[in-house]
Chain A
């Protein structure tokens, strides 16, 4: 059970002067239970790619297989796919529209054809999952703070009980506290409920901290594909496309050069801290 992209190409505005090849021969696999970090510059094709995962955009050529079935088959049930692959857009709070939070979260499961009871139960669970305080369930979504709105929007997708959750820069425009909250929630969904996560981000630190698997995109192509350690050990290669390794990796390298016996493959703050403590104790 997985998502397989097989030579996917996508061209915007085909046949006009502003024709753009947004995806260029993209092939990779997202295994079940994966926590994939999708990184790349603005315009590298990340957002276009994730819109293919739940069939909102149709590839100009190539195929996508979800759980072994070609999603471009004529009798493939797109609506069911959209229930299984939950896509959270950038600034998802811009899609809120109902008079209260609870009704808004009900929108997704209701569209999937769940009964009133099941819909409400799913909405309640999703709101609990995103840790929204109970007293906010029946206020207008427009009265909430930025971070709360984002959590409600996330709940709106979670209520559809997706197997795969795709998030397009879920922390954009949030303060550090809101950012940690959202990323913590995503991590919890992955660890406790076994949801496959695809996290689009341009923060190397976030991806290094949370992802098990990284795909780097550049100019519509898959530039690198591997584990965080593998990817970030090639920092100079990342730098050629204007990306970089996490900040701590650079610190570790400088410490090493300064004569400390530290682990230069450390990519998270915790790993780095442990390694430094060990090196200091050793000395």
Chain B
């Protein structure tokens, strides 16, 4: 059942987007997010929609697969929409019981929903097309300048990549433990909140034990291979920009200028 959570998990495919340098994708995601906040005009969102659709098509990740991953956060989205819908003051549209829907509220709710959905789609697109290792490599190199401020960039990147690497492992482990306890008659689905949280103990204790065991093994294996931090460490596959990466930067720049231009000249 945990296999169903696809939010942000790497999706194996052969596409132009998969092959891009992770730094480009990081920058692209950042630019996309910024573009969503530039303006609240419909035209800007239209540009963003076209761009997002093109990128999704380019990534060769099935759209249904991305949507399935979004189910997990549907609740948060609904909550945000509800807050915007009911708590914005302005011209009254409909009103029942204690709730009032205003014209401004409706507009804001729609914009927030679209913005949130695009934010999530945009960032999952990055993680869907980039392996965790590439991602942290990209961050390490892209944020390398922070070393000047005595920030341990390599260590942070290493911690992140280990954490990301452990997510699927621990997920699988959790799945196994849940099944093992179910085989012993454990019941996680019925009862009140107290009974249900108590039912988590037989999962959490073995999970923590195994996480510590794995962490210990990993530390041991790293030391056995003489890992000593980032100093003087070279990469087997150093990140080097290729022709397509440059072209991608140009496309991103064009996109951002287009959004800004639209924000300035479009009436709505």
Q: Which residues of A contact B (CB under 8 A)?
A: 12-13, 15-18, 51, 54, 56, 79, 82-83, 86-89, 92, 94-97, 107-108, 111-112, 142, 156-157, 160
Tell me which residues across on chain A come within 8 A of B201, comparing CB atoms. 97
What's the Cα separation between A16 and B9 when bound, in Å? 12
What are 7 A-B pairs at a CB distance below 8 A? A16-B11, A16-B65, A82-B184, A87-B183, A88-B183, A94-B180, A95-B202
Tell me which residues across on chain B come within 8 A of A87, comparing CB atoms. 180, 183
Q: Which of A56, A96, A112 contacts B206 (CB 8 A)?
A: A96
Q: Which of A56, A79, A142 contacts B179 (CB 8 A)?
A: A56
Tell me which residues across on chain A come within 8 A of B62, comparing CB atoms. 15-16
Q: Is the CB of B185 within 8 A of A95?
A: no
Q: Is the CB of B11 within 8 A of A107?
A: no
- The answer to the question of B205 belonging to the interface, with a C-beta cut-off of 8 Å to chain A, is yes
- The answer to the question of B209 belonging to the interface, with a C-beta cut-off of 8 Å to chain A, is yes
- List B residues 206-244 near A (Cβ within 8 Å): 206, 209-210
- Determine chain B's interface SS by DSSP, over half rule: helix
Q: Is the CB of B176 within 8 A of A89?
A: yes
Tell me which residues across on chain A come within 8 A of B176, comparing CB atoms. 89, 94
Q: Is the CB of A17 within 8 A of B186?
A: no
| In the A-B complex, the 4 residue pairs with the closest CB atoms | A111-B185, A97-B205, A95-B180, A108-B184
What's the Cα separation between A56 and B177 when bound, in Å? 12
- List B residues 161-181 near A (Cβ within 8 Å): 173, 176-177, 179-181
Q: Is the CB of B183 within 8 A of A82?
A: yes
Q: Which of B3, B182, B184 contacts A157 (CB 8 A)?
A: B184
Q: Is the CB of B179 within 8 A of A94?
A: no
Tell me which residues across on chain A come within 8 A of B180, comparing CB atoms. 87, 89, 92, 94-95
What's the Cα separation between A52 and B23 when bound, in Å? 45
Tell me which residues across on chain A come within 8 A of B12, comparing CB atoms. 17-18
CB distance from B65 to the nearest CB of A (A): 6
Interface residue count on the B side (C-beta < 8 Å): 25
Q: Is the CB of A79 within 8 A of B187?
A: yes
CB distance from B71 to the nearest CB of A (A): 14
Say yes or no: A94-B185 contact (C-beta < 8 A), given A17-B13, A89-B179.
Answer: no
Q: Is the CB of B206 within 8 A of A94?
A: yes
Query: Chain B: which residue is nearest A12 at the CB level?
Result: B3
Query: Chain A: which residue is nearest B61 at the CB level?
Result: A17
Q: Is the CB of A97 within 8 A of B202?
A: yes
Q: Is the CB of B184 within 8 A of A142?
A: no
Q: Is the CB of A56 within 8 A of B184?
A: no
Tell me which residues across on chain B come within 8 A of A15, comparing CB atoms. 62, 64-65
CB distance from B115 to the nearest CB of A (A): 28
Query: Chain B: which residue is nearest A162 at the CB level?
Result: B183
Q: Is the CB of B185 within 8 A of A82?
A: yes
Say yes or no: A82-B182 contact (C-beta < 8 A), given A17-B11, A17-B13.
Answer: yes
What's the Cα separation between A192 and B186 when bound, in Å? 28
Q: Which of B177, B183, B186 contacts A94 (CB 8 A)?
A: B177
